[in-house]
């Protein structure tokens, strides 16, 4: 991964936004978080298979809303946006 290009979802801007060595990531594709990496270090196989609803201020429902992402069947390293919810 090109560390200058990637930003990690939820990373503290004061501590840097790039991926950390030794961590596992999934690329978020589409929707409000398109292009960000999600740190999935320590997630169980079940959690990785399910995907996640990620809190975001820039989705359809504004602050506190969630953007839902699930793994792509042919490429589980990329998670596709499924929609937003309150």
Structural domain boundaries in the chain: 7-85
DSSP one-letter code for 14: G
The pLDDT value given to residue 65: 94
Condensed to tens digits (0 to 9), the pLDDT of residues 5-51 reads 678 998 766 666 678 899 999 999 999 999 999 999 999 999 999 99
The pLDDT value given to residue 5: 65
50 sits in which H/E element = helix 45-50
Say which residue, 53 or 18, is predicted with more confidence. 53
CA-to-CA distance for 81 and 69, rounded, in angstroms? 4
- Whether the predicted pLDDT of 1 surpasses 80: no
The pLDDT value given to residue 64: 87
The pLDDT value given to residue 20: 86
């Amino acid at each position: 991964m090109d560390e200058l290009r990637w930003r990690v979802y939820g990373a503290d801007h004061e501590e840097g936004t790039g991926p950390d060595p030794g961590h596992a990531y999934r690329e978020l594709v589409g929707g409000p978080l398109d292009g960000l990496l999600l740190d999935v270090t320590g997630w169980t196989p079940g959690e990785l298979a399910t995907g996640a609803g990620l809190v975001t201020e820039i989705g359809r429902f504004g602050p506190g809303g969630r953007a839902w992402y699930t793994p792509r069947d042919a490429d589980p390293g990329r998670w596709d946006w499924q929609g937003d919810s309150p």
